[in-house]
Structures are given as structure tokens and as C-alpha cells.
């Protein structure tokens, strides 16, 4: 069956980082099935998916995928209520979670994400765009060592 990966990225919170979401998803697909591939869609705009069934459908479908997922990877640089909610629900489900934050963004990550780092199943990685594939490779190969990956990653 393979690993099921839930990727979180901002949609209504702003689509500025869609290209990096797309890149992360392409890399994640080498490790397993990405349940939320639409999040990296370059044609998906800030208004979100145009589903006749509406927001309740999106919420319930995504929660089903969260339950199904083996691991959650969230790009958290662009603040998004939906991404924060997904991470919180993932914590409540005891999922393995990797949050990726771009240090060069000049943003300060929420304490509710940074402070949730626990050295085991909840990791926050500060990364530079050019190192993201390497960080993901190391996380999926040796998840328990992810905490200090950004110290060791070189191009
Ligand atoms: O159309 C959508 N489809 C969808 O799957 N989502 C989910 C997946 C994303 O990881 C997250 C983005 O939340 P937000 O739209 O609040 O930035 O919510 C969110 C929306 C729009 O809120």
C-alpha cells in the first residue's frame, strides 16, 4: 500500500508559496501517496476549490484524509487558519507531523507551532528553499533524527 502523506499548505491564507508547495509535493510523491495533491496546484487560487458541495464537503473530506494519513507534512511559512487547524487535529490524532518553515521569510512562526516541537513525533524544521528535498529525504529515511537536520544539510 505505501505511506499516506497529508500535505498542508495555505490556500485562503494566501497562495504566495504555491511553487514551493508544488516542489515539496513532487518530492513527497517519491515516498508515498500524497492525499492532498491539489494544495500544490498552480491553478488553485486563493478562493479555494470550486466544489458545488461547498466548504463542509472540503472540511469533512480533508478530515477523512487526516485520519487515513500516516504522516503530515505542513509548510507553515505563509500563515493559514486551515493549516493551523489541520496540524491541531493531527496532534489530537497522534500523527507524526513535520512542519517546514523558511527561515529567510522574515516571519516569526507562531509559538503554538514552534512550541509544539517535542523531539519525537512533532518536528519543526527551519529550511532554505534549496535544501528542502534533502530535508525531506532525511526525514523519511531517518525520522527520529530530523530535529537537527537543518544544521547538517548542505547543498
Ligand atoms: O479549498 C480548500 N481545500 C482544502 O483542501 N483546504 C485545506 C487544505 C490546506 O492544507 C488548508 C488551507 O487552509 P486555508 O484555506 O485556511 O489557507 O485547508 C482548504 C481550502 C480552502 O479553505
ipTM of the complex: 0.99
Q: pTM of whole model > 0.90?
A: yes
For the domain covering 4-141, report its CATH number.
3.40.50.450
Q: Output the residue whose Cα is nearest ligand 1's atom 1.
A: 48
* Domain range list for the chain: 4-141
CA of 114 to the centre of ligand 1 (A): 21
Residue 75 beta carbon below 6 angstroms from any ligand 1 atom: no
Question: Would you write out the chain's pLDDT as a tens digit for each of its 155 residues?
Answer: 599 999 999 999 999 999 999 999 999 999 999 999 999 999 999 999 987 789 999 999 999 999 999 999 999 999 999 999 999 999 999 999 999 999 999 999 999 999 999 999 999 999 999 999 999 999 998 654 444 444 444 44
The long-range contacts involving 28-32, CB below 8 angstroms and separated by at least 24 positions, are 28/73, 28/136, 31/3, 31/5, 31/136, 31/140, 32/2, 32/3, 32/4, 32/5, 32/70
Amino acid at each position: 500500500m505505501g505511506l499516506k502523506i497529508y500535505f498542508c499548505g495555505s490556500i485562503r491564507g494566501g497562495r504566495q508559496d504555491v511553487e514551493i508547495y508544488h516542489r515539496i509535493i513532487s518530492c513527497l510523491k517519491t515516498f508515498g501517496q500524497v492525499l492532498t495533491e491539489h494544495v500544490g496546484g498552480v491553478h488553485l487560487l486563493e478562493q479555494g476549490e470550486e466544489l458545488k458541495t461547498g466548504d463542509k464537503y472540503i472540511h469533512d473530506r480533508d478530515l477523512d484524509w487526516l485520519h487515513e494519513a500516516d504522516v503530515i507534512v505542513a509548510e507553515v511559512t505563509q500563515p493559514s487558519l486551515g493549516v493551523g487547524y489541520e496540524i491541531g487535529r493531527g496532534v489530537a490524532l497522534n500523527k507524526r507531523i513535520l512542519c517546514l518553515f523558511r527561515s529567510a521569510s522574515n516571519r516569526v512562526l507562531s509559538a503554538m507551532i514552534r512550541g509544539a516541537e517535542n523531539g519525537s513525533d512533532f518536528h519543526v524544521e527551519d529550511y532554505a528553499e534549496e535544501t528542502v528535498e534533502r530535508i525531506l529525504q532525511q526525514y523519511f529515511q531517518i525520522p527520529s533524527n530530523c530535529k537537527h537536520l537543518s544544521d547538517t544539510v548542505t547543498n
